[in-house]
Structure 1
Amino acid sequence: MKELGVAEQRFIESMGLYFERQGGTRIGGRIHALLMLTDEPLSLQQLARVLKVSAASVSTNIRASMAIGLVEPVSVPGDRQHYYVVNGNGWESRLRTAEDSVKAFVRVCQEALSVPQLANKHHLREAADFCDFYLAEMAGIAERWRASRAARPTPRTSKASKGRTA
């Protein structure tokens, strides 16, 4: 991988801070940003070298990113190392995770509202109503995204990524 330019470094650091503000780790955000900027799979060692962090930290954060669907492992023919790329369906995965979280939250609120002494708590009702509204508004968004994505021309892929397999 070539040396990173100033704009790329700035983006990587900004993404790290964004992830941190969202409750993730700064290194997780930096890894995701670097993978977003490259068209080729990167190994743990490449990620660690470019980001100037330990391979152990990259390994830990890659596992976390895979668990939430943002990153996926790929293989490179003839190479036994583990390589990683941005999951092409990662945004849909994040959307499902967010929806599942809101559904769990609204269930907790609705259970509380079913108890007579809590049934008329304004803030509790407002939270449940907002969640119901949010879920109704979000319904079908993944399908609309897939349709929009399918209508766009396919981006060119690099030679290195053409041979990769998941």
Structure 2
Amino acid sequence: MTELGAAELRFIEAMALHFERQGGTRIGGRIHALLMLADAPLSLKRIAELLKVSAASVSTNIRACMAMGLVEPVSVPGDRQHYYVISSEGWESRLRTAEEAMKAFVKMCRSALASPQLADKPHLREAADFCDFYLNEMAGIAERWRATRSARPTRTPKASKGRTA
């Protein structure tokens, strides 16, 4: 990528605000968006240049994106820099994270409902019932996604047309 166009910048900023609304950082959203648009792996230095932010900020936020399962490191033969791409398992990772959080929440609610002092709390029961419903509805979604994804024809990335990572 040489420079970012207007449409790319709009998407990057929209993703930054989305990440922030979800409790993340704007720069994390920008990094994720940039890597979604990239045709090739990007180095920390190049990410910082394209987003016009410090390399330290990119380094900190890339680790957070990796912890969320959204981004993964890759190597480029003959180059010692660190490069990054969107994780091929990122969407499933997000599903697993949401499911784990919901399971922990329902466990906490069910534990509280087991206490005689809290057993008759309707909001607590509704929260637990909703979580059970949600988890039942979500069961198997990752497998269905993989089946849908594998049934689609594979797309080959466009040639870079002189662009460099």
The bucket for the TM-score relative to the shorter chain is over 0.9
**Residue of structure 2 in register with 1:5 after alignment:** 5
Matched residues in 1 for 2:137 and 2:22: separation? 23
What amino acid is aligned across from residue 7 of structure 1 in structure 2? A
Matched residues in 1 for 2:66 and 2:122: separation? 39
State the Cα distance separating 1:157 from its structure 2 match: 3.1
Once the two structures are superposed, the pairs formed by residues 3-82 of structure 1 within 5 Å of their partners are 3-82=3-82
Q: Secondary structure in 2 aligned to 1:116?
A: coil
Q: Secondary structure in 2 aligned to 1:119?
A: coil
Q: Is the 8 A contact 1:12 1:34 kept in 2?
A: yes
- Deviation string, structure 1 residues 31-53 (Cα, Å, up to 9, x no partner): 00000001100000000000000
Q: Does 1:95 align with 2:69?
A: no
Q: Does 1:120 align with 2:120?
A: yes
Q: Secondary structure in 2 aligned to 1:75?
A: strand
Identity of paired residues, percent?
76
**Residue of structure 1 in register with 2:141 after alignment:** 141
- Deviation string, structure 1 residues 9-62 (Cα, Å, up to 9, x no partner): 000001000000000000000000000001100000000000000000000000
Alignment coverage as a number of residue pairs: 160
**Which piece of structure 1 moves more, 3-12 or 127-136?**
3-12
Q: Secondary structure in 2 aligned to 1:85?
A: strand
State the Cα distance separating 1:109 from its structure 2 match: 0.2
Matched residues in 2 for 1:119 and 1:135: separation? 22
TM-score, L = length of structure 1: 0.94
- Deviation string, structure 1 residues 128-150 (Cα, Å, up to 9, x no partner): 00000000000000000000000
What are the ranges of 5 or more consecutive residues in structure 1 without an aligned counterpart?
161-166
- Cα RMSD (Å) of the superposition? 1.1
Matched residues in 2 for 1:64 and 1:142: separation? 23
Q: Is the 8 A contact 1:69 1:87 kept in 2?
A: yes
State the Cα distance separating 1:159 from its structure 2 match: 6.7
Matched residues in 1 for 2:20 and 2:41: separation? 24
What are the ranges of 5 or more consecutive residues in structure 2 without an aligned counterpart?
161-165
